[in-house]
Structure 1
Amino acid sequence: MSMIIGWREWVEFPEWNLKFKAKADTGAKSSAIDCAEITELPGNRVRFTVRLDRKEKKLITLEEDICLRKRVRSSTGHPTDRLFVETTLHLAGIEKKIVVSLVCRKRMIHRLLLGREALGNDFLVNSSVDHWATPKRGKKTKH
């Protein structure tokens, strides 16, 4: 049975000690996280700086293994090559491994987009509701 969530929810990435307001987007196949800098490293690794707010006052730099390289068509229809990393998502009592692409989303409202691959069979999105499973207000980061 799927957990019902709203089109926007608070999600946690416990491995990174982060909490984000995410947009659940069933029109997007993959998920994306907003990065200010992305540097490919030797050994199939990547260092990336995540924007935690739109004003770029809160940034955190992380390093992970690259789990996937793929060409993705953006919301504007332009294809770009992206790096993907795997992490654990915690949402509405469900914890699961997901894959997220690293991309600049500074012009977007939400720092994190959850696509169909991350939502899978675990979540059913009620697009008419903002924050069904989590409170509307919340602390953006644990840092």
Structure 2
Amino acid sequence: MKPLTTIGWREWASLPEWDIEIRAKADTGARSSAVDCSSIEELPDNRVRFTMRLSRKTNLNMTLEAPIAMRKHVRSSTGHGRDRLFVETTLRLGGREKKILISLTCRKRMIHRMLLGREALSGDFVVDSSVDHWATPRKRKKSK
């Protein structure tokens, strides 16, 4: 069994199947993972089209389609429950890759576009909540 990979409370996560790199917050209090989406549209043949908001500071969005992996009632941190669609993709973080389920939801009021919950973290990662970006270096702003 591989030793656990230490990550910080937030990291740059890659979703290689979608060619996306996104800042994600590790949240061991959340069971499932979530990504910030708008325009979630169910399609025929158990598929979904959704637009991921990739940045809070810019209008960088990406529209994707994926098979619906699961439908589940999820209670948010505020205690409100909603039915959500989940899709499956590969997470690449800290030298590891694993398949994870991600719920599609509106997180536009949240600071981080992606939340990594216990189901995605368990068995592979341990979170050092005192550290920001342990496994992935911070992106440096380009100087003029």
TM over 0.5: yes
Radius of gyration: which is bigger?
A: 2
Task: Please name the residue that 1:36 is paired with.
Answer: 38
Distance verdict in 2 for CA 1:67–1:138, change over 3 Å: farther
Which of residues 98, 101, 126 in structure 1 aligns to 2:100? Answer: 98
CA distance in 2, matches of 1:88, 1:138: 25
Task: Please name the residue that 2:129 is paired with.
Answer: 127
Task: Please name the residue that 1:20 is paired with.
Answer: 22
- Identity value in percent: 67
Cα offsets for 1:3-54 (capped at 9, x unmatched): 0000000010000000001000000000000002100111110000000112
Count of residue correspondences: 139
For the 8 Å contact 1:10–1:138, the answer to whether it is kept is no
Task: Please name the residue that 1:9 is paired with.
Answer: 11
Structure 2 gaps of 5+ residues are: none
Distance verdict in 2 for CA 1:11–1:47, change over 3 Å: same
CA distance in 1, matches of 2:140, 2:74: 31
Q: TM-score, normalised by structure 2?
A: 0.94
Deviation of 1:138 after TM superposition, in Å, equals 5.9
Runs of 4+ in 1 over 4 A off after TM superposition: none
CA distance in 2, matches of 1:91, 1:37: 27
